[in-house]
Amino acid sequence: MMEMRTEPGTLLAAAPLLQDPNFTHTVVLMCAHNESGAHGLVINRPAPFTVQKLLPQHEKLGLSHFPVHAGGPVGLDTLQIVHRVPRDIPGGYELGNGVYLGGELDALARYLAEHDDDAANDVRMVLGYAGWGQGQLELELAGGSWLPSRLDPDWVFDPEPQLIWRKVLRALGPLGADMKDLPPDVTWN
C-alpha cells in the first residue's frame, strides 16, 4: 500500500459522504501523523460554552467569555490553544504557515483581555481532538473519506466557522467545487 501520511498543518476536509456524526462537514487541522497513529483538531465546530466554564479557577480566564470549539470526540478533558500570535503567546510550536499549537496559559489570558473581541481573529481554544489508531487514517485517506488541503491561516480563524468546510472544498479545484453543495446524506436529494 502506498504511504499516505499527512504533515502537521495539513487540513483534512471530510468528504461529503463521510457519515460519522462526529465528522460530518468538518475540517481537521492535523497536528501529528506517524506510524503509531494520528491526531488533529476539528476547527469548524463551535462548542456551546466559553472558556469561563472550563477554567473557572483561573484568575483571568475564569472571567472570560471567549468561545471554545469542539476539537473532536477524543480527550474531552484536553484544551488546546491554536493561534497565530507567537510573540504574544509564547511556548507553542508551529504547525505550518504561521499557525501555532500550544502556548503559555497566562500569556493567552493577557492576550484575550487586551484584544477582547478581536482575539478570535488570531486564537482558537479547542476542547478534545480527533484521533486515529495505527494505520486507520491511512485507510480513510485511501478510501476517500478525507480530502487533504493546504493550510490557509484565515480558514483556521474564520469568524464564520460554518463556512470553513465549503471554502476548503472550493480550494481543492473542480472536484471539490462540485462536492461543496452535496448534503451530508445523498438520499436527501
pLDDT in tens, 66-113: 999 999 999 999 999 999 999 999 999 999 999 999 999 999 999 999
Rg of the chain, C-alpha, whole Å: 17
Number of domains in the chain: 1
- Cell readout for 165 is 468546510
Note the pTM of the prediction, 2 decimals: 0.91
Q: Considering the domain boundaries, does residue 143 fall inside one?
A: yes
Q: Considering the domain boundaries, does residue 170 fall inside one?
A: yes
Q: What is the CATH number of the domain that holds 149?
A: 3.40.1740.10
Average pLDDT value for the chain: 91
- What pLDDT score was predicted for residue 179? 63
Distances (CA, A) of 119 to 47, 106, 167: 17, 15, 22
What's the rounded mean pLDDT across residues 111-138?
A: 95
The whole domain housing 73 covers 11-184
Q: What gap in Å lies between CA 65 and CA 81, rounded to an integer?
A: 15
Q: Considering the domain boundaries, does residue 15 fall inside one?
A: yes
Q: Considering the domain boundaries, does residue 150 fall inside one?
A: yes
Q: What is the band of 186 on the pLDDT scale with cuts at 50, 70, 90?
A: very low
177 has a pLDDT exceeding 80: no
Yes or no: say if 111 and 123 are a contact pair by the CB < 8 Å rule: yes
Q: Considering the domain boundaries, does residue 1 fall inside one?
A: no
What pLDDT digit, counting tens, does each position of 146-168 carry? 999 999 999 999 999 999 999 99
